[in-house]
């Protein structure tokens, strides 16, 4: 698509984007985390600003510079990300969950740094489930007609797994990335298949994360009007 004429087709809209990866603390100096860079979420925020939207970017541990024109809400854990997304979603036209949310967190947080002891095996780390934010906001839309978009990385049976996940989550659109060589975490480019609850299927060729972001907003804008 290359040089795309930017039309303010999201003017007057409020969109919420989550980006990055949550960190679930074990003690004051350690956490369970993931390798999400946050770049796709930031590309979504930048392109939405360019298309005229008011943008709230809920950013989990990205270390990236704030995109100009977006309201950035920094968070650490999945529980904090849920709070921030629910709050911003209250008056949002669309919510895009690009963040990698940890499925589990340590069941116990040690107030002091965990120390090793001579001749003792480490205690196992017990995990508990985190809330499923995408499923929750899909089930309880803060406003009628609010659009909810999820992301998923799948290694095989991309369409079948994607369709099943879309139905399970109850969202309107699911952006499915096929994980493989080239398509690694932190990469500048992406390739994806976007599945819609209305049956539409849009394949986005390998290219910059901005191009994928613009395709997501095309699909969102078409369904908002």
Per the annotation, the verdict on 34 as an active-site residue is yes
Q: Is 133 annotated as a binding residue?
A: yes
Q: Is 103 annotated as a binding residue?
A: yes
Residues facing 151 on adjacent strands: 175
Q: Where in 87-126 is the site for Ca ion (CB under 5 A)?
A: 103
Which residue of 45, 55, 101, 147 would you call a contact of ligand CTP, by CB under 6 A?
101
Question: For residue 60, which of 103, 99, 32, 86 has the smallest C-alpha distance?
Answer: 99
Measured from the CB of residue 169, what is the shortest distance to Ca ion in angstroms?
11
Measured from the CB of residue 149, what is the shortest distance to ligand CTP in angstroms?
8
Please say which residue, 111 or 176, places its beta carbon nearer to ligand CTP. Answer: 176
Q: Is 169 annotated as a binding residue?
A: yes
Question: For residue 159, which of 187, 188, 214, 199 has the smallest C-alpha distance?
Answer: 199
Question: For residue 133, which of 106, 108, 170, 107 has the smallest C-alpha distance?
Answer: 170
Does position 66 interact with ligand CTP (CB under 6 A)? The reply is no
Please say which residue, 42 or 151, places its beta carbon nearer to ligand CTP. Answer: 151
Q: Is 209 annotated as a binding residue?
A: no
Does position 49 interact with ligand CTP (CB under 6 A)? The reply is no
- Given a contact cutoff of 8 angstroms between Cβ atoms, the answer to whether 74 and 90 are in contact is no
Give the total of residues touching ligand CTP (CB under 6 A): 12
Does position 97 interact with ligand CTP (CB under 6 A)? The reply is yes
Q: Exactly one of 34, 61, 130, 161 is catalytic; name it.
A: 34
Please list, residue by residue across 125-136, b when 16 or more beta carbons sit within 10 angstroms of its beta carbon and e when fewer do: eeeeebebbbbb
Burial label for 80, CB within 10 Å (0-12, 13-18, 19+), is middle
**125 token code pair:** 């780390």
Binding site for ligand CTP (CB under 6 A): 78, 97, 99, 101, 103, 130, 132-134, 150-152
Which residue numbers are catalytic? 34
Binding site for Ca ion (CB under 5 A): 103
């Amino acid at each position: 698509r290359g040089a795309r004429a930017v039309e303010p087709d999201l003017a007057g809209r409020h969109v919420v984007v989550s980006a990055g990866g949550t960190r679930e603390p074990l003690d004051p100096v350690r956490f369970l985390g993931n390798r999400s860079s946050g770049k796709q979420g930031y590309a979504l925020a930048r392109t939405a600003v360019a298309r005229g939207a008011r943008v709230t970017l809920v950013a989990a541990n990205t270390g990236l510079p704030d995109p100009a024109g977006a309201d950035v809400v920094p968070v650490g854990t999945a529980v904090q990300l849920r709070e921030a997304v629910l709050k911003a979603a209250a008056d949002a036209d669309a919510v895009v969950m690009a963040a990698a949310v940890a499925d589990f967190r340590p069941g116990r947080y040690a107030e002091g740094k965990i120390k090793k002891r001579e001749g003792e095996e480490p205690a196992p780390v017990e995990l508990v489930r985190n809330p499923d934010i995408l499923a929750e906001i899909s089930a309880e839309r803060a406003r009628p007609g609010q659009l909810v978009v999820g992301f998923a990385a799948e290694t095989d049976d991309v369409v079948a797994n994607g369709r099943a996940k879309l139905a399970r989550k109850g969202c309107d659109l699911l952006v499915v990335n096929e994980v493989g060589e080239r398509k690694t975490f932190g990469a500048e480019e992406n390739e994806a298949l976007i599945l819609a609850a209305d049956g539409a299927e849009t394949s986005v060729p390998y290219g910059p994360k901005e191009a994928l972001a613009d395709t997501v907003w095309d699909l969102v804008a078409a369904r908002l009007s």
